[in-house]
Structure 1
Amino acid sequence: MRPSGSDLRLLQVFDAVVRHGGFSAAEGELNLSQSTISNHMAALEERLGVVLCRRGRGGFQLTEEGRSVHEAATRLNAALHDFSADVGSVQGKISGELRIGVLDAICDDPQNRLPEALGAFHELAGDAKVLLAQEAAQDLQQKVRDGTYHCGIGVDLTPVEGLDQVLLNTEMHSLYCGRGHPLFHMPVADLVREELLALPFVKRGYWCTEKSRQNVFRNVAATVLQIEPQLLLIRSGHYVGYLPDHYAARWCANGELRRFEVPEFSYSAQFYLFTARDNRKSTTVTAITQAVRSAWAKNADCDQDDKSQKKQKYLESA
C-alpha cells in the first residue's frame, strides 16, 4: 500500500479513535459525527483488507491487526513530522515537531532544568510544536531508539544499542514508610536490619537484576511501574518502599511520610539525556540537545557558586 492523501486522513481518524478508546469519544477531537467516523473506519478497513477493531457490549477493542496498523501509523506520522522539520532546516528554520519522553515524579526535583531548556528551545524554534510525554522507565530508551521520541530524559536501566547519552544529574532515593506504619515513630537506634528486610515491601517492576539484589527485601507485597502509585501504597501505612528524596520531601514535612535515615537503605539514580545515534541529527534534535546541556550546565555552575559562598561564610565566621 502506497498511502495517498485520503489514506493519511483515514489513518488520522483511526489514531484518534484508538487514543480515545472508541468512536463516540473521538467525536470532539475530530469534529465528526459518530456515523461519519464509522464510515471512515470501514473505508480504511476495506483499503487495508483487515479488520482493525471490534465494537460490542464489551466496548471498543483493537484486533491484533489493528494494533499493528496503529503502531505503523504512529511511525508514519512521526516520519512525516520529521520530514517537515528536515524541509524547514533546508529553509534555515527550526520547525516541525519535537517529541520528548520523560519519567514521572521529576517536577519536584530542584536539579531538573527541563523548564529552562524548553524555554531556551522556544526562543530558538518558536515555530516548532512540542510533544512532551510521560513515559514508563522500562520503555523510554527503546522508544528514543525507534524514533517515537527525538530524545528522552531518564535513567539508564539496561544498555540499548544505538543511543547516545549525556549525564545530567544524580537523584537520591531513600526508604520510607507512611503514617500509621508500625515503625513510623520508632527511634532510629531501635531499628533492626533483619526486621526491616522482612516488612511488606513495594518493588518497582522495572528494576534490573542488579538493583533487585541491592534491595534484598524478602517480602515483596506489591509491585509498581511508576513512582506515584508507589507513593500511594507507602502512604497507606502498610508498606515500605523507596522514593526520590525530593519527591517525598513535602510529604515528610506535613507528617505523612517517615524517611529511614539509615545509609544502607538509600541509593542514587543517574539521569541522562538520551538521543538516537545518527550521523545526521536534525536541527530540531541539535537545538534541544544544546538547550538541555546549557540548562543543566548552569545548574551545575549555580551549585558550585552556592558551595563556594557557604565555604566563604564559614571561613569568615571562623
Structure 2
Amino acid sequence: MRVSGSDLRLLQVFESVVRNNGFAAAEHELNIGQSTISNHMTALEERLGFVLCQRGRGGFRLTEKGRAVYEASRRLGKALEDFSSDVASVRGELKGELRVGILDAIADDPRNLLPQALAAYGRIAPEVKITLVQERPLDLQQKVADGQYHCAIGSFQKRIDGLDHEWLYDEWHGCYCGRGHPLFDPPGEVTVEALGEAAFVHRGYWRDEDAFRHVAWRVAATVFQIEPQLLLIRSGRYIGYLPHHYAARLEAAGELRALLPDLLTHSCPFELITPSRGRHSDISAAFAQTVRQVWQVG
C-alpha cells in the first residue's frame, strides 16, 4: 500500500475513533458527523482490504488487524513529525515535537532536576512542543526503542536491547506502614520476623533481590506504579517500599511510619535512556545534551 495524502486523513479519523472508543465521542474531536466518520472508516477498510473494528449494538471493538493498523498508524504519525523536525533542522531551526517518557511520583524529589532541564531546553528551543508522558519502566523502554518517545528518564532494572543508559542520580527508598497498621505503633520493637508475617505490597517491575534482600515478604498485593502502592499502604492493611521523598510529607504528618529504616533502605539509579541505533533528531540530541549539562554528567 502506497500511502497518499487522503490515506493520512483516513488514518487520522481512525486514530480518533480508537482514542475515543467509538464514533460518537470522535465526532466532537473531529468536528464532523458520525455518518461522515462511518464513510471514512469504510473507505479505509476498503483501501486496506480487511475489517478494522466491530461496531453496532455490541459496542465498538478493534479487531486484531485493526489493533495492528492502529499501532502502525501511530508510528507513521511520529515518523512524519520527526521528518518535519529534521527539515526544520536543515534550516537551522529547532522545531517539532519532543516526546519524553517519565516515571510516576518524581515531582517532589529534590534530586530530580527535570524541571530545570525543561526550563533550560525551553530557552534554546522555544518553538519545540514537548509531550511528557508517564509510563511503567518496561513500557518506557519499549517505546523509546521503537521510536515512539525520543528518550525517557527513570529507573530501569530490567534492561532491553537497543538502548543507551546514562546515570543521572539515585532515588532512595524505605519500607513504610500506614496509620492503623499493627506495626505503626507496636507494643514492642519491630522485628524482621514480624515484617515477614505482614501483608506486603510489591512493585511488579522490581528485581526480587532488591525487594527481598532482608525479609522473606508475604506478598499480598502487586502494583506497577507508586501511587496505588501508597493507597494500599495508607489503608493500614499493607506495608511496602516508597521513595523517601514521596513519603516524607505524610511521615511528618504522622500518617506513615518508616520500618527498620537503618536496614530497609536502598537506592534506585535514575538514568536517561536513548535509542542506541539510528540518527537522533536535532531536537532530541539537544534535549539529551541539556539534561547532561543540568545534571553535570557525561
TM-score w.r.t. the length of structure 2 is 0.94
Is the aligned partner of 1:148 residue 2:148?
yes
Write the distance in 1 (CA, Å) between the matches of 2:60 and 2:228.
27
Write the distance in 1 (CA, Å) between the matches of 2:130 and 2:42.
32
* Amino acid of the structure 2 residue aligned with 1:164: D
Give 2:86's aligned residue: 86
Change (3 A) 1:254 1:273: same
**Alignment of structure 1 residues 220-231 onto 2, 5 Å:** 220-231=219-230
Give the match's secondary structure for 1:263.
coil
Deviation at 1:28, TM superposition (A): 2.4
Taking only aligned residues, the RMSD between alpha carbons, in angstroms, comes to 1.7
Write the distance in 2 (CA, Å) between the matches of 1:27 and 1:257.
47
Give the match's secondary structure for 1:272.
strand
**Alignment of structure 1 residues 1-318 onto 2, 5 Å:** 1-186=1-186, 190-214=189-213, 216-278=215-277, 280-297=279-296
> Which protein has the bigger helix share?
1
User: Contact (CA 8 Å) 2:85, 2:94: kept in 1 or not?
Assistant: yes
Write the distance in 2 (CA, Å) between the matches of 1:154 and 1:103.
6
Write the distance in 1 (CA, Å) between the matches of 2:55 and 2:159.
40
Write the distance in 2 (CA, Å) between the matches of 1:14 and 1:254.
49
Bigger mean CA offset, 207-216 vs 81-90: 207-216
Write the distance in 2 (CA, Å) between the matches of 1:242 and 1:57.
46
Bigger mean CA offset, 29-38 vs 65-74: 29-38
Q: How many percent identity over aligned positions?
A: 58
TM-score w.r.t. the length of structure 1 is 0.88
User: Contact (CA 8 Å) 2:195, 2:215: kept in 1 or not?
Assistant: no
Deviation at 1:5, TM superposition (A): 0.5
Write the distance in 2 (CA, Å) between the matches of 1:16 and 1:203.
36
1:114-153 CA-partner distances (Å, limit 9, x unpaired)? 1111122122112221111111112211211111100000
User: Contact (CA 8 Å) 1:171, 1:269: kept in 2 or not?
Assistant: yes
- Could you list the runs of 4 or more consecutive aligned residues of structure 1 that deviate by over 4 angstroms after TM superposition? none
Change (3 A) 1:140 1:265: same
Write the distance in 1 (CA, Å) between the matches of 2:7 and 2:13.
10
* Amino acid of the structure 2 residue aligned with 1:40: H
Write the distance in 1 (CA, Å) between the matches of 2:175 and 2:264.
6
Deviation at 1:196, TM superposition (A): 0.4
Equivalent pairs, count: 297
Query: Any unmatched runs of 5+ in structure 2?
Result: none
Bigger mean CA offset, 31-40 vs 44-53: 31-40
Deviation at 1:57, TM superposition (A): 4.3
1:80-121 CA-partner distances (Å, limit 9, x unpaired)? 111111111111111111110101111111111111111221
Deviation at 1:209, TM superposition (A): 4.0
